[in-house]
Every structure is written in C-alpha cells, then in structure tokens.
Amino acid sequence: METGSNSDSLDKAETSNGRGNKLGSMLPKIEPFVPKRDQNHNPRELRSWAKRTGFVSHLSGETGTASSTERFDSSTGFHVGKSSRDQRAGGSSPKIEIDPVLGRTRPNMGVEIEMDSGSGSGSRQGRKTVADGNGLGEKVEERKVGLNGNGVENGNGKGNGVASVTPLVVEEKDEEGKGGRDVEIGMYPEGEEQGHEGGNGHHPGLKVGLRDNPGFGALIYYGLQHFLSLAGSLIFIPSVMVPAMGGTDKDTATVISTMLLVSGISTILHSYFGTRLPLVQGSSFIYLAPALVIINARDYRNLAEHKFRHIMRELQGAIIVGSIFQSILGFSGLMSLLLRLINPVVVAPTVAAVGLAFFSYGFPQAGSCIEVSVPLLLLVLICTLYLRGISIFGHRLFRIYAVPLSVTITWIYAFFLTAGGAYDYKGCSPEIPSSNILVDECRKHAFTMKHCRTDASNAWRTAAWVRIPYPLQWGVPIFHFRTSLIMIIVSLVASVDSVGTYHSASLLVSSKPPTPGVVSRGIALEGFCSLLAGIWGSGTGSTTLTENTHTINKTKMASRRALVFGALFLILFSVVGKVGAILASIPLSLAAAILCFMWALVVAVGLSTLQYTQTASFRNITIVGVSLFLGLSIPAYFQQYQPESILMLPSYFVPYAAASDGPVHTINEQLDFSINALLSMSMVVTFLVAFVLDNTVPGSREERGVYIWSCAEDVATDPSLQLDYSLPGKFSSLCCCSSCLRA
C-alpha cells in the first residue's frame, strides 16, 4: 500500500473520475491515518482521526441495515454499501470509495458471503467470507440480533448497533430535478446505526409530520380533530364519578370544565417540555378505578352533608401525594433505571387490565336504558368497522369521528323519544324529584326516567355562562396515609402505561425512540401535571392517553403544533360554563354505552403492544395469560369479603368496595385499607404478576421484545433527534439538568 501524499492521491483520483472540481472542493485536506498496531485498525482510533480531519458523524435519520449488497473491506474492517434511501427507491447511486488510511479512492472489491440460517425468526448468526480485489480472504464473525417491532436490527444488545465496525460511506447521489450532485460522507461510531426516517420530521405515511406547520387554518382543524376523536376519554369520566360521590348535575358540569382546563394545560406543557411527542394529556381511566375504591369506602357511605366536597378533597390529597412521587421518579433518574425492567410483556397485560376492570360497570349501567344504549353501541361499531373506508370530501369522517358522531346521532334520537312522551308517566315529575320515590306508581319508573330522559339533568339551567375553574375550588385537600399509598402505586402503573405509549407513538411519527432521559423527563412532567389536577380538583390524575396512538394511526396527523392549538381551544371551552353543562346533560346510559367501547379499545390497544415481542413464544403467552387471569381472579377473591356492601351499594359498585372489608387484617387499619384496595384492583395485580415473571423467567431480548431507546450520543450527532426531543429554544441550555434529560 502506498503511503504518498494524501492530497495528491486524492486529487488524482478525483480527476480520473471526472469529479475533481466538485469533490475536491467539498472534501477536506487530511493527513494520513497511522494505526498504532501494525495493520489492525482500531475503529475507535479511526473515529477519533475522522473527527479531527472533518469526517464527523452525520446521521441522515434513515434506517440502515447490513445487507448482501454491501461491500466489506477486509483490509480496514469497513463495509461500504447502498443507503436505505437508494434501496427503497429501487436504484443505485454512484459510489466513491475513500481509503480511510490514505484518503484516496480505491478500486471496488468483490464479496463472497456465506450466511448460516438462524435458529429463530428474531435472531441469526452469520459468517461472512470476504475476499478483496487481490483474492485474499478472511473470516469475519458477525452477530445480528433480531427485530424489535420497529424494523431496526440491533447488534450490541441494545438495538443501536449493526456491526462492530465503523462504516465510512461516501455517497454521490442525484437530486430530483437538478443536474448537480452532492457528496455525502457518513461516519458512524461503533455501536450506532442510522435511525428511522424523519430528516424533516415527516414520515411518508403521515399527512402532517411531527414538526410540520401546515398553516393556521389547518392547525386549528387538525387540533380539534385530535381532541374530538378522544372525546370519550376526556369528558365521560366525571359522568361516572360525580353521581357516585353524591354530586349534583352542576357539580358534574364543573368537574368536566376543570378536566378540560387541566387537559389543555397539560398537553401544552408536554408538547414543549415533556417528551415533545404529539400526545394528549388528560384524565386517564387508570385513575378511575382507585377513585371509585376511595368513593365507596365505608366511611363515606352514610355521609349525607357535603359528601361530594369531602370525597373530592380526599381525592385531591391522594393525587397530590402520588404526583409528587411520580415527579421524583422522573427527575431523580430512577425512571431510567426502571426502564430496563419495563418491556412490552409487562405493558400489554397491564394496559389491558385497565379496560377489563370496568366490565362490571359498563353494560349494567348501559342496560338501564336499552332503547338508547344498544343503538349507540351498534352505531359506533358500524362507523369504526364497516364504514371506516368511506371517504367524504377526502376525509374518512366515520373512522376519525366515530365516537362524537355516534353520540350526537343517538343523543338526538333520545331527545325525540323524550319529546314524544316515551318516558312520560301519569303523576310523575320528569325532573325526577325525590317525591317520585315515595309514590308507588312512580317508584318503578324513576330509574328509567333518570337514565333515559334527555331533560333529566338541570345542569344547563344552573350553570353559569362564564366560570373559570380555580385552584382549591372544592376546599383544602385532605391527606391520609391509606389513600396516599394507593395513589403512589397507581402513579407507578400510570408511568408504565406512558412508557409503552411513548415508544409506540415514536414509531408512528417515524422518529427515533426517545432516550431514557427524555422518557424520565416526560414521566416527571406527567407528575407535575397530575399535581395541577390535584390542586384544581379534577378528581383524577393526568397522564398520557393510551388511545392517542390509535388516533395518530387513524388520522395520520402528528403535528405537535396542532395539539397545542387544540389544547388552547380546550382551555377556552373550559371557561364557558354552558359547554360543561351540555356535556353533563348526556344521559347516563348513553355515557355508559360509549364507555363500553372506549374500555374495549383500551384493552385492544394494550394487547397490541405484544407486536413488539415474539407473540408465538410459549414464555410470553404464559406470562400474559397468567397475569391477566390472576389480575381478574385475585381481585374477585378480595371482593367477596363485603357482605355489608352487597346490601348497601348498587351491584356495579360492589367490586370497588372491598377496601373496607377485605381479608387483610394487620395492626394498622390504614395499611389494611391500602392493601385490600390495591389487591382488589385488576391493573395493580396484573402489573405485579407480569413485572415479576417477565424479569425472572429466562428469555432472549428478541423474545421479550425489549424496548429500544436511543443513546445519549444520538442527541449530539443527529440534528433530527435534537429537533424531535430537545427542549425548545434556550431553555435546554438554561435547564440545570439538561445533561441528564438527554442521557
């Protein structure tokens, strides 16, 4: 190998190839690379030399994996091949191979590859026989670890590497519509690989990408579209909670307005200072089950005066303690350590158990008015399944707006039933006063009128036109050890749910997965937003809505600017008291019917997380099955120890009343209440069983579907990754813990 002048050799090579003028002006003048050990070039030494001489790492943001079309240089340990961009385009771009030692062009080399078939679909080992131009060959061992759902192969056990070599690619490609050519030089450090597409944050499958700005009008439309598609999750939780707490229709309207305000503020904060993914923050069903457990505690059953306010203050105190724990979990970096133990096999059954926990409430409440609830269920299923492919003016309205469209149509239908006298009974007041219960003829019709009539609610008449929800509007929060311990555990389950949502959403927007530091930042901010929910008194904590990933997949809209605009409208609607009043006047049977669909969707979205694992694995099937079964069966065991509750509570609330009468008895009544409450909730038991089994039962990373998170180096080297996840403006440099947030 010649060791002449580097620049002279390079100039000659460029001239002989007809590219001397352009390539010579772009490539820096570099000194020869002299290895420290004979002919064995250390990739780390070469990487350091590349940085000094201008061959800095350049990540284009596209997925690149080793293939049989790549060339491997046996003398330097480099492979030079087509980029994934060219492979997808079906064409090949002219290549210029630069000798990394002398900085000059080299002749192409032949490749002979012998690949041994692997033992599984997820992993394979291959042995490559590489022959250079002189006919000399050597054996190179290479191990590739299989796919993790997102199509990225991992080679270093973390999913970030493709091989133990540092590729140097000098690629000359034609631009569309231009006669000129650009030269792209990519130096990839050891253990790194090109990530997802998204140089400008726009994935080919999306209409609007993460960082796209489609215009003011489009931002408003797409923002409202996002929140309308999630209307069931945002507004129907108070319809379940407030009546159980003894609240009036006016209280229901106020809680709905408070939830809209907190959801709008939380979404804006998360879009700027959280993970920065297009995710809606709001009151989650995860907090509904523990809220019902606290509501149905024995201490509150006979409470008559100010029952609603007292229970709400109790919930506020518990949510505040749980949110502080969640914030500490994120800001301290403990969440980054916990991420190593949270995988799809844990997330899938846990999220599914959240929806399954309400099977005893769903149709028993919807069945109180069959003529309204059943048509609503059928209509929402027809829209989402049978009419999803129909496009009206270029928009698939039935697929995107299935829930609000079905609720509106059925609500109008129920209004005509009410106006037509279907629920008028002689001598009975349609406003459902307490006197109806005292009259024998009206007692049997009071339940039907309350659940079916559209004018049974007086929220519209009592709500103010303008009312701004304010902190501590229900009074000073009450702090008890028993309820605080419950919310601490529930906030941990909510964090697990959010981790799975972060990963799924990052794949949908075609950005690289966030780093563990970014995930910790998102969890910490969710804790802060739950703190706001506790102070304002929304009744539940705030977390990432799991259904949002389904919405992104349906609408193909992923602009975080659009979510900010939609959140601003949510804040505006929260100030108009009549908006909350209209939503509060939805008949309870109609709300329960749509919740049946929403809870079923949560179950489906949770189980869909298993796509990142080897779903046919007996290990995974057993863990998911056992955790889900025990997650339903163990709470049923605790719920049978409540003879008093069966006589005093409606049947659909009995499963949430085990905290006061459960089988656990210690010397501390507060601890008894907490343990009985936690073990009577399906999502907590499912999470504990799945967490222990997945982290103790042997299994490969591919079989378990271990989540792949980006490395800290990716943030510094990939501009697209910085735009996706870094804090906006100069806030990142001013943040005292910016280094840990990018770790």
Predicted confidence (pLDDT) per residue in 606-637, tens digit: 999 999 999 899 999 999 999 999 999 999 99
- Note the pLDDT of residue 630: 97
Q: Which residue has the higher pLDDT, 703 or 284?
A: 703
- Note the pLDDT of residue 511: 67
Strands 112-114 and 78-80, sheet pairing: unpaired
- Note the pLDDT of residue 92: 42
Could you give the CA distance from residue 726 to residue 743 in angstroms, rounded to a whole number?
11
Alpha helices in 453-546, H assignment, sequence order: 459-462, 481-508, 516-536
Which region among 5-19, 152-166, 297-311, 432-446 has the lowest average model confidence (pLDDT)?
Answer: 152-166
CB 399 within 8 A of CB 478: no
Query: Which residues, 6 or more positions from 97, have their beta carbon under 8 angstroms from its beta carbon?
Result: 71, 73, 80, 105, 106, 108, 170
Which region among 18-32, 264-278, 423-437, 518-532 has the lowest average model confidence (pLDDT)?
Answer: 18-32
The whole-number average pLDDT for the span 354-367 is 90
- Note the pLDDT of residue 104: 46
Which residue is listed with tokens 């709400």? 312
Query: Which residues, 6 or more positions from 315, have their beta carbon under 8 angstroms from its beta carbon?
Result: 291, 294, 483, 534, 537, 539, 540
- Note the pLDDT of residue 645: 64
3-class DSSP state of 442: helix
pLDDT above 80 for 146: no
pLDDT above 90 for 530: yes
Query: Which residues, 6 or more positions from 178, have their beta carbon under 8 angstroms from its beta carbon?
Result: none
- Note the pLDDT of residue 9: 46
CB 55 within 8 A of CB 187: yes
CB 229 within 8 A of CB 555: yes
Could you report the per-residue pLDDT of 657-668, keeping only the tens digit for each? 888 888 998 889
Residues in the chain: 743
Share of the chain above pLDDT 70, in %: 68
Query: Which residues, 6 or more positions from 668, have their beta carbon under 8 angstroms from its beta carbon?
Result: none
CB 710 within 8 A of CB 513: yes
pLDDT above 80 for 558: yes
Candidate ranges 6-10, 232-236, 323-327; pick with highest mean pLDDT: 323-327
3-class DSSP state of 187: strand
The DSSP code for 708 is P
Could you give the CA distance from residue 628 to residue 222 in angstroms, rounded to a whole number?
37
pLDDT above 60 for 534: yes
Could you report the per-residue pLDDT of 594-608, keeping only the tens digit for each? 999 999 999 999 999
The whole-number average pLDDT for the span 404-432 is 86
The whole-number average pLDDT for the span 62-71 is 40
Identify the CA nearest to 301 among candidates 582, 657, 628: 657
- Note the pLDDT of residue 152: 42
- Note the pLDDT of residue 168: 41
pLDDT above 90 for 501: yes
Which region among 44-53, 304-313, 451-460 has the lowest average model confidence (pLDDT)?
Answer: 44-53
pLDDT above 80 for 12: no
Candidate ranges 94-103, 301-310, 559-568; pick with highest mean pLDDT: 559-568
Identify the CA nearest to 742 among candidates 334, 193, 278, 333: 333
Q: Supply the mean pLDDT for the chain.
A: 76
CB 664 within 8 A of CB 679: yes
Could you report the per-residue pLDDT of 196-206, keeping only the tens digit for each? 333 444 565 78
Strands 153-154 and 137-147, sheet pairing: antiparallel
CB 577 within 8 A of CB 466: yes
- Note the pLDDT of residue 535: 96
- Note the pLDDT of residue 490: 96
The three-point CA angle 91-97-102 to 5° equals: 170
List, as one string, the DSSP characters of 199-261.
TTS--TT-SB-TT----HHHHHHHHHHHHHHTHHHHHSHHHHHHHHTT--HHHHHHHHHHHHH
Could you give the CA distance from residue 320 to residue 544 in angstroms, rounded to a whole number?
17
Sign of the torsion formed by the C-alpha atoms of 232, 234, 240 and 246:
negative
Tell me the pLDDT band of 432, cut-offs 50, 70 and 90.
low
Q: Which residue has the higher pLDDT, 729 or 570?
A: 570
Could you report the per-residue pLDDT of 477-499, keeping only the tens digit for each? 999 999 999 999 999 999 999 99
The whole-number average pLDDT for the span 101-106 is 46
- Note the pLDDT of residue 551: 83
Tell me the pLDDT band of 33, cut-offs 50, 70 and 90.
low
The whole-number average pLDDT for the span 311-338 is 95
Candidate ranges 80-94, 401-415, 683-697; pick with highest mean pLDDT: 683-697
The whole-number average pLDDT for the span 16-27 is 46
Single pTM value for the model: 0.72
pLDDT above 60 for 576: yes
**Burial (Cβ within 10 Å: 0-12, 13-18, ≥19) of residue 420:** exposed
Cα→Cα distances 424→127, 430, 440, Å: 81, 7, 16
Give the H/E segment covering residue 121. Answer: none
CB 406 within 8 A of CB 232: no
In this structure, which amino acid lies at residue 98? I
